[in-house]
Amino acid sequence: MSSNLYVGNLPYEVSEEELRDLFSPHGEVVSAKVITDRETGRPRGFAFVEMSQDEEAQKAIQGLDGQDFKGRNLKVNLARPREDRGGGGGGRGRW
């Protein structure tokens, strides 16, 4: 079963190809996605990397969390499921 990893504190100029290269020594990288700002299109300094096996994801966490990458100490851990933010609302509910 595959595991999704959160990768934080990335240099803003990192590419998805560089992420694949960084994680591939630890196992098969299914996908690498640098997260960008919706409005500006600029990278936000974090990404998600999907590894093909849970064991490979654990090896990547052990090998890369806290490691220097282009002058930044990476933060690598299992990604949490996306929270449901609910729909709309925000009013005070007066009837």
Sorted by where each begins, the domain ranges of the chain are: 3-78
For every one of its 95 residues, what pLDDT tens digit does the chain have, with 9 covering 90 and above?
889 999 999 999 999 999 999 999 999 999 999 999 999 999 999 999 999 999 999 999 999 999 999 999 999 999 988 776 555 555 555 55
Other C-beta atoms closer than 10 Å to the C-beta of 49 total: 27
CA distance 63 to 94: 54
pLDDT score at 81 = 81
pTM for the complete prediction? 0.84
Nearest to 69 by CA among 2, 3, 12: 12
pLDDT score at 38 = 93
In the structure encoding, which two tokens stand for residue 34, read together? Answer: 């640098």
What is the fold, at CATH topology level, of the domain defined by 3-78?
Answer: Alpha-Beta Plaits (3.30.70)
pLDDT score at 54 = 96
pLDDT score at 2 = 86
Yes or no: say if 61 and 77 are a contact pair by the CB < 8 Å rule. yes
Question: What H or E segment, with its residue span, contains residue 64?
Answer: helix 54-64
